Amino acid sequence: MTSPGASALRTPQGRIVERMSRLPTLPASVARLQAAINDSRSTAADVETAIRPDAALTTNLLRMANSPFFGMPRKVESVKQAVMILGTRRVYEATLSAAFARVIPKRLPGYELEAAEFWLHCVGGAILSERLARAAMGRAPELIFTAGLLHDVGKLVIGSVLGDEPGQLQGSLAGSGATLLGAERALLETTHAEVGGLVCDRWQLPTPISLAARWHHAPSAAPAGVDRSLVDLVHVANDLAHLLGFGTDAGELQRTIDEAAVRRLGLSVKQAEEVAAGAVEHIQQLAELFAGAAAEKGDR
């Protein structure tokens, strides 16, 4: 007789739950950092205390912080220095980037995606979300960079499940006129967006980040109470990243754009082009740092 566990693994939902449970967690230092930042009494020293025990993460955080994207006026040598010069928000973003880079597997088989390409797309999502926010709203909302960075985290799980039967996603996309999301739902009864929201919850990330992942393909369908501008920005940034070729997967350009989201943001195609022109170099520079993070992972 088959055990219930084994039979559950035959269903798509069962396999998704199982793969999600196998997904690495973010280092404890990320949660400590989040707590330190949320506490208004925290000092730069408290932030340093939260991260410093994790030597590999500290190294990668400093590598990220010293990349041209973060615009350091001089080289930072310590977490404390990074906090004082960049501020806690940028340090959180750089730490989460460094931590996230380390949990990406070498390959996302179901999407025919190599780690470097996936990372390029994540970094593209982060930087474009932030810059689109500045162009559309004149400011960058608190969690915009992180929401952009993690919007596709569900692909880590879905890619692993789809990888059990190589080529099935391409097969269902080829010549069908289906979108990537439609193909995912037809195969697995869920999407990388829905699963992405669950992964963010599992990683105990702030709720707006998990909601941005959950709704980044359908911002207008997000329920009341969701930070709509955050979701709209991540949606548009995701499409723009794919259009510009930053980490395209098996779905290629078979994705939708929500006109209402673009209208709500008041973005013109010219503004989007200006954002793209200004972002490309930083995206490439930050993406290259992945090689460093991956090397650290291999050393462990």
Partner 1 sequence: MLRVDSRVQCQPTPIAARQIVVDIADLQVTSDPSSVLVTFALGSCIAVIVHDPIRLLGGMIHYMLPLSSASPDKAAQKPAMFADTGIPMLFEQLYALGARKQDLVVKVAGGGTLHDDKGIFNIGQRNYTVLRKLFWKNNVLIAKEDVGGTKSRTARLFVGDGRVTITSQSVEVEL
Which C-beta is closer to partner 1: that of 95 or that of 248? 248
Alpha-carbon distance 88 to 35, whole Å?
12
Q: Could you say which of 105, 141, 206, 278 contacts partner 1 (CB under 8 A)?
A: 278
Which C-beta is closer to partner 1: that of 229 or that of 271? 271
Helix segments in the chain, DSSP class H: 4-8, 12-22, 28-38, 44-51, 55-65, 79-86, 88-103, 115-137, 144-149, 154-162, 168-173, 180-188, 192-202, 207-215, 228-243, 259-265, 269-288, 290-299
State yes or no: residue 299 binds partner 1 (CB under 8 A). no
Which C-beta is closer to partner 1: that of 42 or that of 254? 254
Site for partner 1 in 70-129 (CB under 8 A): 112
Structure tokens of 184? 């995912």
Candidate segments 17-25, 93-101, 135-143, 271-279, binder of partner 1 by CB under 8 A: 271-279
Find where tokens 């702030």 sit: 206
Alpha-carbon distance 79 to 89, whole Å?
13
Phi-psi region of 107 (alpha: psi -120 to 50; beta: other; left: phi over 0): beta
- Which residues are 113's β-sheet partners? 108
Structure tokens of 28? 């404890």
Q: Could you say which of 174, 186, 221, 291 contacts partner 1 (CB under 8 A)?
A: 174
Total chain residues near partner 1 (CB under 8 A)? 34
Please tell me what DSSP assigns to residue 24.
P
> At its nearest, how many Å lie between partner 1 and the CB of residue 242?
6
Candidate segments 8-16, 33-41, 135-143, 235-243, binder of partner 1 by CB under 8 A: 235-243
Tell how strand 113-114 and strand 107-108 pair up.
antiparallel
Which C-beta is closer to partner 1: that of 90 or that of 242? 242
State yes or no: residue 289 binds partner 1 (CB under 8 A). no
Q: Could you say which of 223, 269, 298, 300 contacts partner 1 (CB under 8 A)?
A: 269
State yes or no: residue 213 binds partner 1 (CB under 8 A). no
Please tell me what DSSP assigns to residue 226.
S
The SS3 of residue 139 is coil
Which C-beta is closer to partner 1: that of 75 or that of 270? 270
Which residues of the shown chain bind partner 1 in the complex (CB under 8 A)? 112, 170, 173-174, 179, 239-240, 242-248, 250, 252-257, 259, 262, 269-270, 272-274, 276-278, 280-281, 284
